[in-house]
Amino acid sequence: MNGGVRYGRVLKAIRGHYWVETPEGLYHCYARESVVKKAKGANPIVVGDEVTLEVTDEAKKEGMILGLHPRRTKLSRRIATGTKELEQVVAANVDNLVIVSSVTDPPFRPGLIDRYLVAAAKGALQPIICVNKMDLEGVADLRDILDMYRDLGYPVVLTSAKTGQGIEELRERLRDKISVFAGHSGVGKSSLLRVLVPGIQVKVGEVNPRTGRGRHTTTAAELVRLPDGGYVIDTPGIRQFSLWDLTEEDVRKFFVEIARYGAGCRFADCSHIVEPECAVRAALEDGHIHPRRYESFLRLLEEARGEIE
Ligand SMILES: Nc1nc2c(ncn2[C@@H]2O[C@H](COP(=O)(O)OP(=O)(O)O)[C@@H](O)[C@H]2O)c(=O)[nH]1
Ligand SMILES: [Mg+2]
Ligand SMILES: [Zn+2]
């Protein structure tokens, strides 16, 4: 029977071809021009999008996307094309941002975690801080900073893709959600995905650290089903994503403890850098705000002001 209407989720999108999962199976679809036009931008329909489609050939499992549903969340990155900067939506309706770092090799970098925490807050994603390579020495040195993240209310999961430590806890947090993994090259994102999704086609250790591109470049993101329900997004490019349209206000708001202490500053518009009677700097001196966080805060502020790239 042709002509039936289905409701589904885009798992894969490549140059005008969409693979949409529905309760009735996977359909290879094109999109009606009006849908593409309405959603402006280079990639109007992205993985994670919820769509309505009309079946054009049930036997061949082909369809036409008729409508795009409003996005709950979107994951964007900033891309430069010639002189212009554009927002590129990488995925829609993502729930979790799994911020992967490693105990060592490459070294643990809280600055990158803070950057992703801001990105998660801005994108309304639930951040999960995942510290991988727990089988290697060195976690004792991280206790203090990891406790700090826990005290701020962020979930911290300690894993080893090698020994399986923490994988069950991670699995629980990903169940029935759409999750994306981000983090520096070499921390073990692909390895974790391979443990979570047996049979997944990800390349381990094959990303060129200089260009950030895989050797066999497939830049398209894809939603991969987790055995227990939910999806992970396998994208080689995601770890590079920069903060789209980051404002100073975002930075001030999304460093939660700085926003909290900042309410006590003498000046309502205190920058927390030079003013007298600054409650944030007082909290920093008293050890209530971690110096690494304050450092990250300053760095992201500069970035939001456009002083650095
Ligand atoms: N010791 C140890 N090595 C790991 C672990 N996870 C990944 N690796 C190794 O770290 C390197 C980079 O892993 P990969 O998954 O490609 O990292 P990605 O760049 O974040 O995707 C590979 O050589 C992996 O075998 C782990 O938990 N423990
Ligand atoms: Mg990888
Ligand atoms: Zn202040």
Residue 236 lies in a domain: yes
CATH number, domain containing residue 297: 1.10.40.50
- pLDDT tens, position by position, 227-246: 999 999 876 555 445 556 77
Q: What does the DSSP assignment read for 160-219?
A: -TTT-TTHHHHHHHHTTSEEEEEE-TTSSHHHHHHHHSTT----SS-B-TTT--BSS---
Q: Which atom of ligand 1 is nearest to the CA of 132?
A: 27
- Residue 12: partners with Cβ closer than 8 Å, 6 or more residues away: 18, 19, 47, 220, 222, 223
Strand partners of residue 22: 25
Distance CA 9, CA 68 (A): 10
Tens digit of pLDDT for each residue in 142-168?
999 999 999 999 999 999 999 999 999
Closest CA to 292 of 171, 112, 129: 112
Is pLDDT at 214 greater than 50 in this prediction? no
Whether 300 is covered by a domain: the verdict is yes
What's the 276 CA to ligand 3 centre distance in angstroms?
A: 8
Do 236 and 295 fall within a single domain? no
Pocket of ligand 1 contains residue 205 by CB under 6 Å: yes
Indicate whether 68 pLDDT > 50.
yes
Contacting residues for 24 by C-beta, under 8 A, at least 6 apart: 6
| Distance spanning both ends of the chain, measured CA to CA | 54
Range of the domain at 13: 5-68
Has residue 54 been placed in a domain? yes
Does ligand 1 lie within 6 Å of residue 136's CB atom? yes
- Residues 123, 59 share a domain: no
Please indicate whether residue 166, judged by its CB atom, sits closer than 6 Å to ligand 1. no
Distance from Cα 48 to the centre of ligand 2, integer Å: 20
The answer to whether residue 84 is domain-embedded is no
Q: Region 28-56: what's the mean pLDDT?
A: 89
- Looking at residue 108, the DSSP 8-state letter turns out to be P
Ligand 1 in contact with 63 (CB < 6 A)? no
In a domain, 79, yes or no: no
Ligand 1 site, residue 188, Cβ cutoff 6 A? yes
Q: 133 and 32 in one domain?
A: no
Amino acid at residue number 247: T
Q: What is the count of structural domains for the chain?
A: 3
Whose Cα sits closest to atom 24 in ligand 1? 188
The residue among 2 and 95 whose pLDDT is bigger is 95
Query: Would you state the structure tokens that stand for residue 137, as one six-digit string?
Result: 């020495």
Q: How far is the CA of 228 from the centre of ligand 1 (A)?
A: 23
Stated pTM of the model: 0.88
